[in-house]
């Protein structure tokens, strides 16, 4: 499936593109509202992610112009959080609205929801499964040997993220940026503690983990 990401923040676009490509999406990018209109008309993406504040043409104007010829699902991104800005986005035809800064997992969830609603993506299994335990996104708990294992919010987010990217090694800095943002940036001990707790709760032998693994001097990964 094809997703168009348009934002004048190059680093943000790069990060979104990397994460969506890792999930198997084809990603097109642009840096202003004119790009958004042109690429939507030319490439017919399945979904558009569109920043509000951009040069040459702002996102709201671009959204209105896209709606003149396309019903493609549109997610608006903005640094503003006022309700009036959100209403303006919906008024111009946007389907969803996300305020910066945001977690990539939330963006991915909204993308999947919109694509399913548009009929362009088959529903995923509700449960993330591994060889020895599973995760239930509904209850945000783990199930191990038929028993419910309670996880904190951050523990759940961390193990869900790793399970969604099996065998992909993430540095401590990447995981901190992804899941904690400014809350704990630069303090890898926070992450190490959560990894230890997850191993204690989910691994058969926490001292010799089989699934929540360390790549020495690099970071952590999940072996499915």
Q: Could you tell me the residue ranges of all domains in the chain?
A: 2-117, 128-222
Query: SS3 string of the chain?
Result: CEEEEECCCHHHHHHHHHHHHHCCCEEEEECCHHHHHHHHHHHCCCEEEEECCCCCCCHHHHHHHHCCCCCCCEEEEECCCCHHHHHHHHHCCCCEEEECCCCHHHHHHHHHHHHHHCCCCCCCCCCEECCCEEEECCCCEEEECCEEECCCHHHHHHHHHHHHCCCCCEEHHHHHHHHCHHHCCCCHHHHHHHHHHHHHHHCCCCCCCCCEEEECCCEEEECC
At residue 185 the predicted structure's pLDDT band, cuts being 50, 70 and 90, is: very low
Q: Which fold has domain 128-222?
A: Arc Repressor Mutant, subunit A (1.10.10)
Q: Is the pTM of this model over 0.85?
A: no
Q: Are the folds of 2-117 and 128-222 the same?
A: no
- pLDDT at res. 120: 56
93-148, pLDDT tens digit by residue? 888 888 888 888 889 988 988 888 776 554 454 578 888 899 987 778 899 988 99
Q: Which fold has domain 2-117?
A: Rossmann fold (3.40.50)
């Amino acid at each position: 499936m094809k997703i168009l990401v348009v934002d004048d923040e190059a680093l943000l676009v790069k990060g979104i593109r990397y994460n969506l490509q890792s999930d198997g999406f084809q990603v097109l990018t642009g840096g202003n509202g004119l790009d958004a209109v042109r690429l939507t008309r030319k490439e017919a993406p399945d979904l558009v992610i569109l920043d509000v504040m951009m040069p040459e043409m702002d996102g709201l104007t671009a959204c209105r112009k896209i709606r003149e010829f396309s019903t493609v699902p549109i997610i608006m991104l903005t640094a503003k959080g006022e309700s009036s800005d959100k209403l303006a986005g919906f008024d111009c035809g946007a389907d969803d609205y996300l305020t910066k800064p945001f977690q990539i997992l939330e963006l991915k969830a909204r993308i999947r929801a919109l694509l399913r609603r548009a009929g362009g993506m088959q529903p995923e299994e509700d449960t993330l499964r591994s060889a020895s335990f599973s995760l239930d996104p509904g209850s945000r708990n783990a199930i191990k040997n038929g028993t419910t294992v309670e996880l904190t919010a951050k523990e759940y987010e961390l193990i869900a993220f790793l399970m969604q990217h099996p065998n992909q090694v993430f540095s401590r800095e990447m995981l901190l940026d992804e899941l904690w943002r400014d809350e704990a940036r630069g303090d890898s001990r926070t992450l190490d503690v959560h990894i230890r707790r997850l191993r204690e709760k989910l691994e058969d032998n926490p001292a010799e983990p089989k699934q929540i693994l360390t790549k020495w001097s690099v970071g952590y990964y999940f072996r499915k």
